[in-house]
Structures are given as structure tokens and as C-alpha cells.
Structure 1
């Protein structure tokens, strides 16, 4: 049940900045940073990079991701999902005394800054991006907001992977080149899969609690064991996909460097096996997010090396 009263006390000054930093859920921000880097690295293969556009896209993506996390914080509280005993890095409202309205206003402010950056990007590339960007921002809100949050349905992995994985890469590529190539689409697919894997790992951890609150996530529908097998399959497909592109001579053999991230994927999968208590699955969740980050960085490094060699 949602608490009937709520403290209006703000965090003490000694730890104030830590509370606000945690509110952005920093471990998720790499899911916004890495696709921008990867899309720009792909663009560098065919054109000269415009660093003003790169940094504008990077900052806008980070702000939208942070705002999306704050929407999640706000609506989890409003729906009574967050308590002082909840496992995870959320809980700025129930544990740290930040007012819900403050969090919502901050999220909307971050969206406002993103809009200004978006105007600059559109002025320098194409105004068609305005429609794409606004739709992405709407999805960011609807992911946990609205009458039927996307995160509560079986489509959370698909939507998060598509918009936070593939679309950010393609926009980052487009603003530099003015087009979207077949190669950019093919290279973005592993990111699509791995960002979705982050969402799946979160749903595996929260399976019992989500079921209690009536959510219908993919992990709930297929069961814990099948969800863990699906997670492992997502990792495997991502690596195989890169090697298929290498063998088809679509990308440089240097991109095979992504195998260095495989230990994190293995750790993530093993970390869920035999676990049912949420807090014991936190290391596996962290390893899943790290797999996406390291995988994307290594892909980008492979592209950079291939370009200069």
C-alpha cells in the first residue's frame, strides 16, 4: 500500500549530492552513452565527425535517460511499489525524503534541456529528427508513466532495446552522415539485444514482487528459469551476430575484440541461476549492465582501430 504520510525533509547536506546522483541511476546511463559513441564511430568510417553534434546528442541522450529513471522513481512511489525495504537503487522518495513533485519537476526540466539540444541538432541536420526525438521522449515517459506503463507489460525488453539500443545508434549516425546505412542497422542489433537484456535482468530480479502487484512482464509470463535461459541466449546471439558480420566482410575483423566482454556475460547468467531472493541477484544485474557497456565500448574501439589501421 502507498504510505499515507510522507516526510518533506530533504537529504542532509553531507550526503545531498549522493542522493541526487543516485536518483539518476548512474549505472543505467551507459545505456545512453554507449549507443551514441557507437553510432558516431560508425559514422566516422564514412565522414568527418562533427563534434558539436556528437556532444549535443550525447548530453541529450543522458538527460533523457536520467529523466526516464526519475519518472520511474515517481510512479513507483505513486503506485506504492517503492518502500523503505525495496531492493535496488531507487527509493529517493521513501528513504531520502525527496518530495515526489520535486522529482517530477526535475525530470521535466531535463526533458526541457534535451528539447533545446534537439533543436540545435535538427538545425544542423534534419527537422524530421524532431518527430523521432519527440516520440522517443514520449516513450521514455510512457515506459513507467501513464495508465498502462510499458515496463509492466511483456514488451518492456523489446521497447527499451529498440529505442535505447538501436534508435540512438541510428540517430547518432544520421546526424553525422545525413542517412542511415544497412551496416549501421546491422551493427546496432547487438545493442538492441543487450539493452533489452538489462531490462530482462531487472524483471528476473523483481519477478515475485512484480507478480504480486499484477504486472505482466516477460519474465513472469515465461517463468524464472526460462527467463534466465532467454538472457543467456540474448548474450550468445549478440556475440554470434558480430562474427557473422565479420565473416560476411561487412565489418572489420577488429570488432572481434568484443569477445573480451564475454566473462561479464557468463557472470551475469550464472549469477541468476538458483537465486530467488532479489538482493542476491544484484551482482548479476550489475554484470548484465556492464556486459552492454563493455560490449559497446569494444565495438567502438574495434571500429576506431579498423579505421586507423
Structure 2
């Protein structure tokens, strides 16, 4: 009979729908780790935040000493980039072993996805920290500023305990303070000091601007992950103050550096050109205020980093012109 024949038919196997979030997909579906995955883990979109303070600090140094100490400047740039990459891999490791990244939005992290052993990711982070320390040591030897060994050690310790250790301060609303101090003040002022051995007002204004841009990028990142961070108990500043306050704070952090640029422009008129970077910054602000899906904030993050880099380039030009 037709009814019995239909019953005898086997049901066609249902295809398992793929998750839209790469972080939640099975390891087999994600496939083997490629060079692209390692590059993604380095989070290249954050590297302008390492470059900008060195450019600004070098410009401020040339206010005091017009000659460009390009060897030391390149060494400072290497330290900043190596530390930034080291921090990114350390965060991948620490968030992965804590289980924080299992709920995140965006590309899967190496540790959380299970495709790379956690110890291997940790080793990569330590290698970048070691390289940064080695280059930093050469700067200290060349400049004879031995006290900066303590500053370098503090930078590495702070980078690790951002998400590492038993009580990471990045999980307790202290991330923005760390970023402002180390990716703004320390990076910019340190670059100026080892080249000029003085810290003019231009260096301080530039350091504040660099720190605020870095904080804005962190806010955009944490706004993207606010729901996931709440779910896993990660108490970022964004989780504590909420979406609206974060949007307001992000706007201020992006706009204040341009007020500082206007101050610099009173003595260095070329600095008015830094306002061109505001075009990208305004787009980032609009995205932060109007986004509908968390992944849209990835664009705001990249645009803010670009804003910082373009801003630094114009301020450098103004200071050395």
C-alpha cells in the first residue's frame, strides 16, 4: 500500500545549520588553523594604536631637538608594536582558558575555538613580550636611561594582568585606565624622553590624545561584547555603566583630541589639518550611536584606530614643519 511504503521510507537526514557566530561553530567546521588565523589573532586593526603614540612622541621630541633620531624612533616603534601583539595573544590565551571568548561576537579566537593548544598561544605571547623587552633593552643601553628598565618591566606586567592572573583588572572596569596610561602617556612620553630627554607641553598634549583614542577603541570593543561579557561575569566599564553612557564616553574620547589639536594649532598652524581625521572619527561615532548588530561595531573600531593614526601623522607634520 502507498501508506505503508511511505512509512517504510527513511527520513532524509536534516542538515545541521551553521552558527552565524564563528566562535560557536564546531572545531571541525572551522577547519585547520591557517596563517590568516594567526594574523587575525594578532588583531592588526589595533596596531595603529601602537604606531600613533610613537609618531606623536617623536614629533614632540623634534620640538626640542630638530634632528630625527630615527634609530631610536624605530626601536620605540618596534617595542610598541611587539607589546601590542603580545597583549593581543595574551588576551586570546587568558580569555580562552577562562571561557570568556566562547560567547563572543566575531571571529573565533585561537584558544577558545580549541584549534590551537592554549600553551602554544601563551608561548607566542611570551615570545612577543621577550622581543619587546630585548629591543627596549637596546634603547636603554644606547640612551643610558637605566631607570627605564623598571618602566619596561611594568609595561609587560601590566600587559599580562590585563586579562591574566587570578584577578585581571580588565575584568573589573580598569581596562580604560590601563590603556590610557600605557598606550597613551607611557608610550608617547617615553618616546619623547629617550630622544630628547625633555618633556615639552606638546608631548603631554599628544600623550593625552593618544590615550583617549586608545580608550575609545576599547570602549567600542567592549560595547560590541557587552551582552557576552555580562553573561560570563566580565565586569568591563561598559558593563557597569551601560550602553548609553558608553556611547557618550566614546564620543567624548574621540572628540577631545581634536580640541587638543586646536590648542596645538595656536602655535603650529599646520595642526589644523588634523581636523581631517575627524571625518573618519565622526563616521565611527555615528556607527556607535546607530548600530543594530554588534558586529557593526567592528567597523567603528577600525575607523577609530585609523582616526588616531591620521591624527598623529598631521600633528607630527605640524610639530616638525
TM-score normalised per structure 1? 0.88
Q: Deviations over 1:72-121 (max 9, x none)?
A: 000111011223x7323451234471221111111111111222112111
Choose 1 or 2 for highest CA Rg: 2
Give the C-alpha shift of residue 64 in structure 1: 0.9
Structure holding more helix per residue: 2
Structure 1: distance between partners of 2:153 and 2:234: 27
Q: Distance in 1 between matches of 2:112 and 2:94?
A: 12
Q: Do residues 142 (structure 1) and 161 (structure 2) align?
A: yes
Matched, 1:17 2:35: yes
3-state SS, counterpart of residue 109 of structure 2:
coil
2:275 counterpart (219, 243, 259): 259
Aligned length: 295
Q: Which runs of 5 or more residues in structure 1 are unaligned?
A: none
Paired residue secondary structure (1:285): helix
d(CA) in 2 for partners of 1:171 and 1:287? Answer: 26
Kindly indicate whether the alpha-carbon contact (under 8 Å) linking 1:25 and 1:89 is maintained by their aligned counterparts in 2: no
Give the 3-state SS of the residue equivalent to 1:232 in structure 2.
helix
Which residue is 1:163 aligned to?
182
CA gap of 1:289–1:265, structure 2 versus 1, over 3 A, is: same
Distance 1:122 1:171 in 2: 11
Structure 2 distance, partners of 1:186, 1:289, is: 18
Measure how far apart 1:245 and its partner are: 3.3
Give the Cα separation in 2 of the matches to 1:127 and 1:94. 39
Deviations 1:121-161 (A, max 9, x none): 11111001101111011111111111222222222112102
CA displacement at 1:28 relative to structure 2: 0.8
Is the Cα–Cα contact under 8 Å of residues 68 and 141 in structure 1 kept in the other structure? yes
The aligned runs of 1:86-101 (5 Å cut-off) are 86-89=104-107, 91-95=109-113, 97-101=115-119
Residue 145 of structure 1: SS of its match in structure 2?
Answer: coil
Once residues 192 and 288 of structure 1 are traced to their aligned partners in structure 2, the CA distance between those partners, rounded to angstroms, is: 12
Aligned pair 1:56/2:72, yes or no?
A: no
Counterparts of 1:101 and 1:199, CA distance in 2: 26
Q: Which residue of the partner structure matches residue 212 of structure 1?
A: 231
- 1:198 aligned partner: 217
Q: Secondary structure at the match of 1:223?
A: helix
Q: Distance in 1 between matches of 2:27 and 2:123?
A: 18
Structure 1 stretches of at least 4 aligned residues deviating more than 6 Å after TM superposition: none
Equivalent pair of 2:41/2:110 in contact (CA under 8 Å) = yes
Distance 2:123 2:241 in 1: 37
* Structure 2 CA distance for aligned equivalents of residues 129 and 258 of structure 1: 31
